[in-house]
């Protein structure tokens, strides 16, 4: 055994004996946040700009960048790069001012809501990104509703201030009317939307003047100056910003940490993420304003403290991150205790013990082995194939955190391989995509295993299946649309009654559940009227 390996083992042994004070100290250094918004508000661009300001990368790329430029690190899948959208949650771990910031970039498109909602169960606060021109859009409103339900503190970032948009005060009014939270701006724009000159930092009264770097791939140059110098340089634009700042103070729109954590206010920042402008203040907010991890309640309502033994919950699985090895990564958020490589944990669902030897931290698609992790950190379990989304892992095996959201599918298609010679790849690919939650793969007694039914929340999920089956699993597929629009969970013993009902099909999932598919809600009500003793369970979103 090498000296380096011996030192690692000694360090791991020391970590395994970490005191409660050490666990709490490390947890206090963590910030775990998600970025949410409507599609095309700039989530992935902001996430990458945060990484740039934390010195985690040297250049930021853009999904729709110029030829030859790198793609956004969090949009690592080829389909994401080609379409310019995020289709899967991604994780970045950043170091800033001695703190560890875990950032989860979530999909914005409604068709991938299930992935986003699950990611929100793994964070302690969110950045809500608002387009300066379009304000609070539909998907942003829906996702805010989830944050409200979970009591997640919300940091608001008004993005794209370098483009024409609404007036800043009007945006604050809209944010307050939609969310019920009082906006308390930390930074205030100098210059109207589309004429972004710089920022007034309301706490210090200083002016930060920005000069965009060539191409926008590196940090914008910052020049700090006093209010007097700002007035001389910017004239009426500075005077207007100053008057609006004073008006905000008069109306009580100054940041108060207790009010923010109590979900009564939302601090607001103004940025132009594509130009890396105003992003440094947002990164500082994640350290100064966002909360650290806190105690969690299990499914029975009992509280588990940060300093208790190790526990974590799996909120996502992903294959294809390392095409050379076709491995599978299960993402888990640590809720308590300390992870150390080689430790043994148990899965609450199966009761099976696991030795955590191969665990990694993730930066977009880049991965590195981790020896130690603390509450708030997100770790990736390599090839833990019996672990599924929602499972709780703990040292004693007796902790179960609340179930994660499950959405009712509204789209159904049969799928078959375009080439029958690649049946093995076809079956493997569908198994992996089902395990990830990209779609739910169902088998029908009448159709057989060769042509399963796939169900999805949104139609765009089928495009993901088509692309990944073709490019990752080398098995192009053909879809046939089915007339069903809704599903109900049924008792397997009632399957013959459902099969006999017109406009209904019975299918099975590998988790042991049996489903009845109906063409419309009228068919559901008709069956319930004729069979009052048969229980039909709705598949709806659940949250902790």
- Say what the pLDDT of residue 464 is: 84
Name, in order, each residue with C-beta under 8 angstroms of 94's C-beta and a sequence gap of 6 or more.
Answer: 50, 51, 54, 56, 100, 101, 102, 103, 283
Q: How far apart are CA 396 and CA 399, in angstroms?
A: 7
Could you list the residues known to form a binding site, using ranges. Answer: 105-109
333: which 2 tokens? Answer: 């958020």
- Say what the pLDDT of residue 71 is: 43
Indicate the SS3 state at residue 133: coil
Name, in order, each residue with C-beta under 8 angstroms of 15's C-beta and a sequence gap of 6 or more.
Answer: 338, 340, 371, 372
Q: Is residue 191 within 8 Å of residue 237, measured between CB atoms?
A: yes
- Give the residue from 544, 437, 408 showing the smallest Cα distance to 123: 544
232: which 2 tokens? Answer: 């001389």
Q: How far apart are CA 435 and CA 431, in angstroms?
A: 6
Tens digit of each residue's pLDDT (9 = 90 or more) over 249-259? 999 999 999 99
Could you list the residues known to form a binding site for GTP, using ranges. Answer: 105-109
Q: How far apart are CA 542 and CA 539, in angstroms?
A: 9
- Give the residue from 283, 365, 226, 235 showing the smallest Cα distance to 51: 283
- Say what the pLDDT of residue 145 is: 87
- Say what the pLDDT of residue 302 is: 94
Interval 344-355 mean pLDDT: 92
Domains of the chain: 1-29+292-403 (2.40.30.10), 35-86+108-114+124-288 (3.40.50.300), 411-538 (3.30.70.3280)
Residue 296 phi, psi (nearest 5): -120, 150
Interval 455-477 mean pLDDT: 87
Tens digit of each residue's pLDDT (9 = 90 or more) over 214-256? 766 788 889 999 999 999 999 999 999 999 999 999 999 999 9
User: How would residue 188 be classed by pLDDT, with cut points 50, 70 and 90?
Assistant: very high
Instruction: Decide the pairing of beta strands 90-96 and 30-36.
Output: unpaired
| Helices 236-250 + 227-234 axis angle, to 10 | 130
Query: For all residues of the chain together, what is the average pLDDT?
Result: 86
User: How would residue 312 be classed by pLDDT, with cut points 50, 70 and 90?
Assistant: very high
Whether residue 66 has pLDDT greater than 50: no
Instruction: Point out the least confidently predicted range of 84-93, 209-218, 287-296.
Output: 84-93
Tens digit of each residue's pLDDT (9 = 90 or more) over 417-434? 999 898 899 998 998 888
78: which 2 tokens? Answer: 């080829």
- Give the residue from 75, 123, 80 showing the smallest Cα distance to 102: 123
- Say what the pLDDT of residue 154 is: 97
Whether residue 463 has pLDDT greater than 70: yes
Give 86 or 39, the one with higher predicted confidence: 39
């Amino acid at each position: 055994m090498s000296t380096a390996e011996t030192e690692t083992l000694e360090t791991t042994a020391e970590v395994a004996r970490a005191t409660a004070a050490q666990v709490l100290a490390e947890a206090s250094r963590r910030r775990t946040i998600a970025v949410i918004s409507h599609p095309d508000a700039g989530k992935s661009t902001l996430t990458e700009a945060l990484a740039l300001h934390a010195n985690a990368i040297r250049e930021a790329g853009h999904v729709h960048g110029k030829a030859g430029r790198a793609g956004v690190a969090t949009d690592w899948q080829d389909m994401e790069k080609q379409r310019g959208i995020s289709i899967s949650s991604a994780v970045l771990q950043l170091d800033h001012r001695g703190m560890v910031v875990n950032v989860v970039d979530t999909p914005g498109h409604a068709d991938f809501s299930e992935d986003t909602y699950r990611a929100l169960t793994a964070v302690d606060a969110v950045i809500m990104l608002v387009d300066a021109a379009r304000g609070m859009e539909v998907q942003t409103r829906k996702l805010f509703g989830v944050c409200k339900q979970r009591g997640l503190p919300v940091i608001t970032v008004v993005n794209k201030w370098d483009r024409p948009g609404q007036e800043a005060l009007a945006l604050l009014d809209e944010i307050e009317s939609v969310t019920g939270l009082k906006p308390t701006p930390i930074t205030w724009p100098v210059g109207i939307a589309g004429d972004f000159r710089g920022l007034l930092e309301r706490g210090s009264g200083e002016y930060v003047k920005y000069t965009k770097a060539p191409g926008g791939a590196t940090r914008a140059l910052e020049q700090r100056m006093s209010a007097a110098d700002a007035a001389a340089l910017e004239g009426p634009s500075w005077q207007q910003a100053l008057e609006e700042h004073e008006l905000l103070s008069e109306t009580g729109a100054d940041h108060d940490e207790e009010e923010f954590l109590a979900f009564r206010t939302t601090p607001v920042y103004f940025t132009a993420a594509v130009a890396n402008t105003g992003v440094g203040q947002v990164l500082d907010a994640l350290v100064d304003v966002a909360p650290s991890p806190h105690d969690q309640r299990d499914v029975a309502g009992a509280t588990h403290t940060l300093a208790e033994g190790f526990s974590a919950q799996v909120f996502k699985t992903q294959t294809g991150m390392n095409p050379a090895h076709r491995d599978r990564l299960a993402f888990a958020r640590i809720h308590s205790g300390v992870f150390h490589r080689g430790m043994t944990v148990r899965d609450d669902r199966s009761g099976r013990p696991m030795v955590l030897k191969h665990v990694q931290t993730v930066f977009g698609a880049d991965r590195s082995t981790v020896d130690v992790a603390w509450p708030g950190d997100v770790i990736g379990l390599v090839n833990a194939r019996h672990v599924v989304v929602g499972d709780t892992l703990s040292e004693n095996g007796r902790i179960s955190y609340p179930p994660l959201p499950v959405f009712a599918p509204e789209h159904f298609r049969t799928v078959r391989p375009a080439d029958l010679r690649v049946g093995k790849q076809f079956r493997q690919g569908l198994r992996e995509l089902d395990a990830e939650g990209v779609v739910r793969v169902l088998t029908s007694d009448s159709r057989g295993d060769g042509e399963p039914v796939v169900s999805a929340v949104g139609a765009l999920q089928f495009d993901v299946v088509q692309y990944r089956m073709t490019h990752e699993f080398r098995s192009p597929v053909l879809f046939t649309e089915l007339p069903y629009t809704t599903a109900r969970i049924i008792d397997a013993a009632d399957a013959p009654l459902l099969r006999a009902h017109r406009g209904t099909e019975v299918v099975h999932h590998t988790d042991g559940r049996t489903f009845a598919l109906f063409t419309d809600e009228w068919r559901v009500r008709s069956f319930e009227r004729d069979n009052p003793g048969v229980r039909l369970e709705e598949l709806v979103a659940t949250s902790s």
